[in-house]
Amino acid sequence: KQEVTQIPAALSVPEGENLVLNCSFTDSAIYNLQWFRQDPGKGLTSLLLIQSSQREQTSGRLNASLDKSSGRSTLYIAASQPGDSATYLCAGRYNFNKFYFGSGTKLNVKP
């Protein structure tokens, strides 16, 4: 059974700090991994998509990596800002049509 785990469940950091969010998956036969941001009561905003053949993707202050052999992905946020406060979710695609989400890491960036 495919499982996706995110640790920690919550994280609080001062503004300006660089931080890393972790995502672990149990099955290395992953097709791709996608990171999302979710604001309270809202839908999901896609941040980065990493294909199984890729090692990392970058967008602005965000960098996501994928290591299939260890079953891990990380989302690196540089120079964090209060506007980055949200819940961050990772999701792995394992076959044609199923997507497995972690429970998310709730990030609070303090001014």
Q: Give contact residues for other proteins (rule: CB under 8 A).
A: 4, 6, 31-32, 34, 36, 41-46, 49, 51, 89, 91, 93, 96-104
Structure tokens at 86: 């949200």
Rounded to the nearest whole angstrom, what is the least distance from the CB of residue 82 to other proteins in the complex? Answer: 22
- CB-wise, 11 or 49, nearer to other proteins? 49
Cβ atoms of 3 and 101 closer than 8 Å: no
Strand 56-59 to strand 105-110: parallel, antiparallel, or no bridges (unpaired)?
unpaired
Rounded to the nearest whole angstrom, what is the least distance from the CB of residue 62 to other proteins in the complex? Answer: 15
Rounded to the nearest whole angstrom, what is the least distance from the CB of residue 101 to other proteins in the complex? Answer: 3
Cβ atoms of 56 and 63 closer than 8 Å: yes
Cβ atoms of 77 and 83 closer than 8 Å: no
The answer to whether the Cα torsion of 61, 8, 40, 45 is positive or negative is: positive
The label of the residue with tokens 């997507």 reads 99
- CB-wise, 37 or 77, nearer to other proteins? 37
- CB-wise, 41 or 83, nearer to other proteins? 41
- CB-wise, 45 or 81, nearer to other proteins? 45
Rounded to the nearest whole angstrom, what is the least distance from the CB of residue 89 to other proteins in the complex? Answer: 5
